[in-house]
Structure 1
């Protein structure tokens, strides 16, 4: 086995890039990935402090100026002085592996720049190699571990003198050169491997990574495509293929590849991060286009109201929804949005008024009927709640909440059999909810079934304790 010394890997093959491994790739044509999207949203969400029309025009110009369309990929200032640097591919890299421009030193973490991977090579047999060649490969790996890359390269070249066309030796030399940011040299070596064996394991992937390092994105995509056609492609191939596609201005294709990466590893935080950035930036671009068309349009007010609501800025969302409603009084969905904002602000009377107006638009809407049923239950109007909750339950029979509220109503109205039926349905729909079991314990006790009552009470206590423990654990891990 051999390793790329740019990344820390444990015996189980877990990867973590070292500082030296944070190589840089500038994206020349990547308007879809906005590194500053979060900044843009925060700025946009402060527009209520300014004049609405002028702010809506200015904020997105700020956001778009800070996207990856610019030549600098700004993450954070480098704490190290960029001394003793070397230039590569139009960027400068100092002895810390830090990339910097004339304006700012930068460090890129877990980004498209991280194309140099520490990899193990399972399944690559060295049994056919002469003993002296295998000894030189072991010597090269020892040098890599000691970060003696010049010594490692000497060992690989000595091995090539003994086995000049061995693809594994060439592959390891190419990865070493990639580690040292010698992308052109690594490209030549990888292409030589492929001339010997067109589908040699993972070489197309590493060739694509080197092309990324050279900003040759079209060639990178071709290499990644070739890798994906092999029997066992590199596990990160879809991810870096997506990065190359983004660089070519093909965000839709990139999204498909990020999703493929997530199929392989649903916990791939890097892929989720990149997907989030793509979708966020697409939203920002859409809002910018709406702003340019008409900064006081119904569509823009409605959309910004939703942005505020999603960020729990309910007072601000109300202002935007009211402005949207003033532009288009018969617009469907705005009364529901207003009601939801009022509900989150615990202004129940105002919320109920809006939900009743929303009910005229769609009498069978699950959410509207559920919320109106909740309000009626909260006021103790159990008989009045039934009409809403029955509609909500019929709209989504598998939802636990309508069944629970119906059970609560029937229990209050002394219809114990109907209450029991609804509460059992609620407990089945949500096995982790303790509330149905408490009411079931009361119903069984009222019916003289002490054994079932005790069972339900015990289940209630168990689930309540589990919920308290979850809340405690979340509190411990949530930043203050």
Structure 2
């Protein structure tokens, strides 16, 4: 599984600073003279200042022969050779630098990548695993982590790959390579789990639940509902199954199936009174009928259980607006856009409330945010439609869409 799409050239500057560049001009060399070393050092630094690494490399090579115990020279020569694509040439210098000063995390990380590029996968893994937790610079940590994930994936160690990609997502959450790696790893984990489950117990309620997930993913709603019902028949208390079936039934436009969905949400709540999402959906169902007195307690309980759930807060805010309690709605909407800035409908509602209060400046700002995220949502809807994913799944609030202005 390949995650690296281009050379990590953006690390060159950072790595050259990992060991202080030419912080020492000599380390009591066994051969040569201080004058020779000083001459090579002077020329190397001059060429680097002029951004002529191809001329600096021979000077560093001459210097390192005279002073092989100089950590800075070994490290920087290794770095320059690496970014020239000379991995075999870089390898001994990076190894020597790490051997002389084991605390050079960036250099050890680069050594691991070099070893991977030269085919020494066992050594690459040791060095990358040692360096990865110590790296704080985001771009290098991401590149090193992706390299490490590639090694784990090749050996089928998906649990370690998943742990590594989780750390990368915390450190670099908007990196598309990291997001793609997460998608691939978790897809592979899911596939592996399905195979294992089918071998252990192909007619277990869990297997039917998994098959329902797969049927749903492929857009086979009726087949998925049938699998959920088989799972429930085998184990009515199977964790999550009533909520999952309710979610699927709730996508239907058939009033009968909608009502069945409510019954499944209520069953989920019987098994788990702390099921905040089922409470939220019951609130949504009441709100869809403009039954705000029924929606209110459901949303209030949901928000009490999970104060940072943007959807529950938004549902309660709408309820307060419908009940003419707009003073209670305003802080909830402000919290919604803080937790989920992409909620276009919440920005629109905020804009309306600010305008009613005479706060033209904030009303304008929220309207601009609404337009920005509405355009983004429309693009996502078009893309998801091509993937045969139901548009309802990316709506901020499907029931409000018809009443909002179009771009």
Residue 298 of structure 1 corresponds to 205
Mapping of 1:385-396 within 5 angstroms?
385-386=295-296, 388-396=298-306
Residue 188 of structure 2 corresponds to 281
Residue 404 of structure 1 corresponds to 317
CA distance in 2, matches of 1:369, 1:402: 11
Residue 287 of structure 2 is aligned with which of 377, 393, 401?
Answer: 377
Point out the structure with the larger helix share.
Answer: 2
Does 1:334 find its partner at 2:230?
Answer: no
After superposition, give the CA deviation of every residue in 1:402-441 in whole Å (9 maximum; x if it has no partner).
4224325534xxxxxxx34542453343257256558869
8 Å contact from structure 2 (residues 276, 306) kept in 1: yes
Cα 1:229–1:291 shift into 2, 3 Å: closer
8 Å contact from structure 2 (residues 242, 267) kept in 1: no
Tell me the number of residue pairs that the alignment of Structure 1 and Structure 2 aligns.
352
Residue 71 of structure 2 corresponds to 167
Note the residue ranges of structure 2 that are not aligned, 5 or more in a row. 26-37, 387-407
Give the structure, 1 or 2, with the largest relative contact order (CA under 8 Å, sep 6 or more): 1
Residue 125 of structure 1 corresponds to 21
Mapping of 1:85-100 within 5 angstroms?
none
Cα 1:403–1:311 shift into 2, 3 Å: farther
CA distance in 2, matches of 1:138, 1:437: 59
Residue 353 of structure 1 corresponds to 260
8 Å contact from structure 2 (residues 351, 366) kept in 1: no
Give me the TM-score of the superposition, normalised by structure 2.
0.66
Residue 469 of structure 1 corresponds to 372
Helix, strand or coil for the counterpart of 2:22? coil
Does 1:134 find its partner at 2:27?
Answer: no
8 Å contact from structure 2 (residues 317, 328) kept in 1: yes
CA distance in 2, matches of 1:395, 1:440: 26
Q: CA RMSD in A?
A: 4.4
CA distance in 1, matches of 2:154, 2:117: 12
CA distance in 2, matches of 1:336, 1:215: 49
CA distance in 1, matches of 2:292, 2:107: 69
Residue 209 of structure 1 corresponds to 113
Cα 1:348–1:144 shift into 2, 3 Å: farther
Note the residue ranges of structure 1 that are not aligned, 5 or more in a row. 1-34, 36-72, 76-107, 412-418, 442-451
Mapping of 1:199-348 within 5 angstroms?
199=103, 202-224=106-128, 227=131, 235-236=140-141, 237=144, 240-247=147-154, 249-309=156-216, 314-328=221-235, 331=238, 333-348=240-255
Helix, strand or coil for the counterpart of 2:5? coil
Give me the TM-score of the superposition, normalised by structure 1.
0.58
CA distance in 1, matches of 2:24, 2:172: 34
